[in-house]
Structure 1
Amino acid sequence: MDRALSAVPAATLFQQALGAAFYTLPEAVRRLHAVRGTAHYAGIASIERGRNPLARLCARIAGLPKAMREAPTTVEFIADAKREIWRRDFGGTRMHTRLAFKRGLLRERLGPLQFRYHLHPGSDALWWQVAGVRVFGLLPLPAGWFDGVRCRERERDGRYEFLVEARLPLVGLVARYEGWLAPA
């Protein structure tokens, strides 16, 4: 019996975070978040950056990609039951994040920032809602500052599609990127 249990693969981060609701997600979203080991995806993305000097500074601190249209995009996912690493390449601009699931929240490390998210699954999309942000994992920032940060994942025409938008009070648009990915 123990040997049979050990043969069952551990749940991925998103399976842990969503439980049974994971299986209600659109197929392309479910497939991407079921990755164990390493997987490569490729697609196209467009990135818009805010023009406000503070917006540019915030984007630089977070390591967000520069503005570009219809850029070839690749993502390497390295995943196990405890963490995921996403290595993105937007037209030659690289962006790396690390994700973990702790205390009921998905955590994403992006440069010196650690975002904590509530995930809201539905049959048509998965929404990420910021629950908190910390600098260097220690200094909490007011969560209300990040009400303008939204992330949506969905399936369209059989492909995984993403939208990430970050707007901050008094700063306006920091960055918005959207596009699609398919297994490479």
Structure 2
Amino acid sequence: MTGSPSPLHLSTAAEPTLFQQLLGAPFFNLPPSLRGLHSIRGLDTWAGEVAIERGAGLLARICARLVGMPPAMSQAPLRIQFSADTKSETWSRQFGSHRMATRLRCRKGLLVERLGPLQFRFAVHAANGSIYWNVARVRLLGLLPLPATLFGGVHCREWEQDGRYHFDVQAALPLAGPVIGYHGWLEPAGPNAG
């Protein structure tokens, strides 16, 4: 036998998920439903209910259509299939019969999500048992920077209520006014649930 054996590198810890990377230690103080949704590795499906309001103005309707937002609906079924690894997550949403998928990833400490021709970069933080998404940067077609102040009315809050994951997403723009607002809840439905 020549030389010394190579040391074994064993790791029992899983690589952190996207939101664990973004939030760091505060992630582990979040309520169970938020930790559960943002700890998904591989494939999983969550289901629940959503209410969606759309802006009435012409410019608001054009903006919502441009980024593929769902139509207005009340107490509609919502299913999201998550496909997650340590680098990114794909959220395949089904609002009633309307489908919308986006890919999320982390870049320089910000959450990146593309909606139609717009690439949003959100500052994500946890406080008082909730997760908040606030726009930090926006790019058109991933290249042309747009003033983030134009998108100050775009934000999201996630929290737990009655043991369920809840969310509220709002998008309003200067001149267009409210573009879309949707809120609802989700709970685990399993990767192969009907």
TM-score by length of 2: 0.91
- The number of residues matched between the two structures is 183
1:54 partnered with 2:59: yes
Give 1:75 shift: 0.2
1:94 partnered with 2:124: no
User: Matched residues in 2 for 1:167 and 1:63: separation?
Assistant: 15
Instruction: Report the AA paired with residue 58 of structure 2.
Output: P
- Residue number in structure 1 paired with 2:133: 128
Is there any run of 5+ residues in structure 2 with no aligned partner, and where? Answer: 1-6, 190-194
- How do residues 48-87 of structure 1 correspond to structure 2 at under 5 angstroms? 48-87=53-92
Give 1:2 shift: 4.3
1:45 partnered with 2:50: yes
Give 1:109 shift: 1.3
1:161 partnered with 2:166: yes
1:36 partnered with 2:49: no
Contact 1:24/1:123 (8 A) holds in 2: no
- Identity value in percent: 54
1:8 partnered with 2:20: no
Q: In structure 2, do the counterparts of structure 1 residues 128 and 2 end up closer, same or farther at CA, with 3 Å as the change threshold? A: farther
User: Matched residues in 1 for 2:84 and 2:174: separation?
Assistant: 34
Contact 1:112/1:135 (8 A) holds in 2: yes
Q: In structure 2, do the counterparts of structure 1 residues 3 and 140 end up closer, same or farther at CA, with 3 Å as the change threshold? A: same
Contact 1:130/1:147 (8 A) holds in 2: yes
CA deviation vs aligned residue, 1:150-175 (integer Å, no higher than 9, x gap): 10000001000000000101110000
Q: Secondary structure at the match of 1:101?
A: strand
Q: Secondary structure at the match of 1:178?
A: strand
Give 1:136 shift: 1.3
Q: Secondary structure at the match of 2:59?
A: helix
- How do residues 104-183 of structure 1 correspond to structure 2 at under 5 angstroms? 104-183=109-188
User: Matched residues in 1 for 2:130 and 2:93: separation?
Assistant: 21
Of structures 1 and 2, the larger Rg is shown by 2
Is there any run of 5+ residues in structure 1 with no aligned partner, and where? Answer: none
Residue in structure 2 matching 1:20, options 25, 28, 32: 25
